[in-house]
Amino acid sequence: MAKEKKVAGAGSRPEARLPKGFRDIGAAELAQTRAMLDTIRGVYESYGFEQLETPAIEYTDALGKFLPDQDRPNEGVFSFTDDDGQWLSLRYDLTAPLARYVAENFQTLPKPFRRYATGTVYRNEKPGPGRFRQFTQFDADTVGTDNLAADAEICMLAADTLEALGIKRGDYVIKVNNRKVLDGVIEAIGLVGQENAGRRLTVLRAIDKLDKFGPEDVRLLLGDGRKDESGDFTKGAGLSPNQVATLMEFIERASESAALMRSAARSGDIFNNDVDQGYFVLREGGSFYQSQLCIDGHQELETIRGLLRGAGYGMNQIIIDYSVVRGLEYYTGPVFEAELTFEVKDEKGNPVRFGSVGGGGRYDGLVERFLGQKVPATGFSIGVSRLQAALNVLNAADASAPLGPVVVLVMDKGELPRYQRMAQELRRAGIRAEMYLGTSGMKAQMKYADKRGAPCVIIQGSDERDKGEVQLKDLIEGAKAAAAIADNKEWKESRPAQVSIKETDLVAGVREILARHGVTS
RNA sequence: GCCGCCUUAGCUCAGUUGGUUAGAGCGCUAGAUUGUGGAUCUAGAGGUCCCCUGUUCAAGCCAGGGAGGCGGUACCA
């Protein structure tokens, strides 16, 4: 019969469930996020960036995500049409809205315009481990200058931010490259002209996989293709053996060079100029030095490197790494990637690498889309959620829930005003407090207080009331004391961590308990 | 998008060659204890065995299709 009732209503009832790739976030994580955002904000503001907030929704064409030849937004973004039939989209990053803002307010903004922004962004794509369809980014950008000092500062900012968040020097690295270098290398193997645009992208994608797959798989991706462990085949760039060999030489030298830098950094040799300058492939006389693009890119990197080292940032913080790719059709010059380098084991003992927690670079074309006039810009974006997940693994102990409010138990339903008054008294003293608002008995109220993480409860039944007293029970100390008591009678009679005080001393008594647990309000 | 694996209670999972009323541990609720969160004991609630169609006297189990989840891969500002 009970069954029939269920079945009867089931079809029309909605299922309580979250859309794939979205998640609910509880008090403990939110408190942690807030602290992180405050820290990042402090660093960004110290560099002189000012805050800007733009809406979560923009016109789709302003975000620049239309499929070629189709009057329809790109996959990957959440889009819908407005009343007037215009396409709107949820922002998928904070840079495209910045470009729109700068273009719209170009006349009045100070140039260079330096702003930071944080907010939720949305991507309509398949979620993966640690990848969601809604997440928080924290960006800083300098718009309106091609001065490479702006790029150097972005790198410093990234390093300072990670350190402010408690990531030790050596547990992270900011990698810098220049898209002109890779473009030059690709040009050097003859992939020039419009007809090779697709191949150039495939090559860049292959190089981008170096960290993930290693050199052998990159070689396959540059050639015919690669089969993954599920048996799926990825078509390669189809380069000739010669072209592959040339690219692989570059890639392997580049990672060798980066490895040398890291090992120098580990041994404390953080300003060793020979190592720092990178491998000979890009120095004068090296095999790629004929390409003008390579030369330009290399010289820009040298300028940035000079600024960084001059400011005291060594190879233990920021290095040049020629294998960094980042956004494919987006960046036009220097690119940056913030990578966490420490390794941790998951619960099964497998090593987990977090990899990139932020990135950015110089994008000289974004504002130009609107204005038709070159407005060079450079910036950096932190993936807050991903970084937070990494930090949680780094300090695994720090996942504890925040303390809840002090709970005033309702022992006598006829005395609600009295209990309410106690809660108010605590609130006025700056102590988070609540009167129990349910209707259950004392045992249930104790369980409730326990679940809320209350540091203590206030108990006043008729006995205490008659004497003008209240009982304060320290739930944290009480839980510790309980562990030593096996007998229920003793547990009840000893009333661990419970004291009786004058009702007039309520605030002082609670403060004493809070202070015991490190709360000073 | 493509490939592989998976789906039984709130959670983690058993479930025989297809055979009566589908189980365990944990969790939850209540009692033992008229005013004390823990421990112990007892009792209770909780199920569309992912969905649909088929095979069969009989399907959690077999077949086909679908959905959802996980992992890999592709795309990724």
Nucleotides on strand B lying under 7 Å from protein C-beta: 1-4, 29-40, 46-48, 68-77
The protein residue nearest B32 (Cα–C1') is A488
Residue A123 CB closer than 7 angstroms to strand B? yes
Residues of chain A within CATH 3.30.930.10 domain(s) are: 21-146+364-399, 169-362
Q: Closest nucleotide (CA of A451 to C1')?
A: B37
Per-residue pLDDT of chain A (521 residues; tens, 9 = 90+): 233 333 333 345 667 778 888 888 888 888 889 999 999 999 999 999 999 999 999 998 898 876 555 566 677 888 888 898 888 899 999 999 999 999 999 999 999 999 999 999 998 888 877 788 889 999 999 999 999 999 999 999 999 999 999 999 989 999 999 999 999 989 888 888 888 888 888 999 999 998 888 888 899 999 888 887 766 788 888 899 989 998 998 888 888 889 999 999 999 999 998 899 876 666 666 677 778 888 899 899 999 999 999 999 999 999 999 889 887 678 999 999 999 888 766 555 556 677 789 999 999 888 999 999 999 999 999 999 889 888 877 776 555 677 899 999 999 989 999 999 999 999 999 999 999 998 888 999 999 999 899 999 999 999 999 999 999 999 999 988 888 888 888 888 888 889 999 999 999 999 999 999 887 65
The nucleotide closest to A483 (CA, C1' atoms): B38
Closest residue (CA to C1') to nucleotide B38 in the complex:
A482
CA of A310 to C1' of B22 (A): 73
Nearest nucleotide to A231 (CA to C1') is B3
Instruction: Write the ipTM.
Output: 0.82
Distance A194 CA to B15 C1' (A): 63
Residues 20-59 of A with CB under 7 A from strand B: 20
Is strand B in 7 Å reach of the CB of A212?
yes
Question: What CATH homologous superfamily does A169-362 map to?
Answer: Bira Bifunctional Protein; Domain 2 (3.30.930.10)
Q: Which CATH superfamily is domain A21-146+364-399 in?
A: Bira Bifunctional Protein; Domain 2 (3.30.930.10)
Alpha-carbon torsion A200, A205, A208, A210, what sign? negative
CATH of domain A406-516: 3.40.50.800
Q: What is the 3-state secondary structure (H, E, C) of A62-129?
A: HHCCECCCCCCECCECCEEECCCCCEEEECCCCHHHHHHHHHHCCCCCCCCEEEEEEEEEECECCCEC
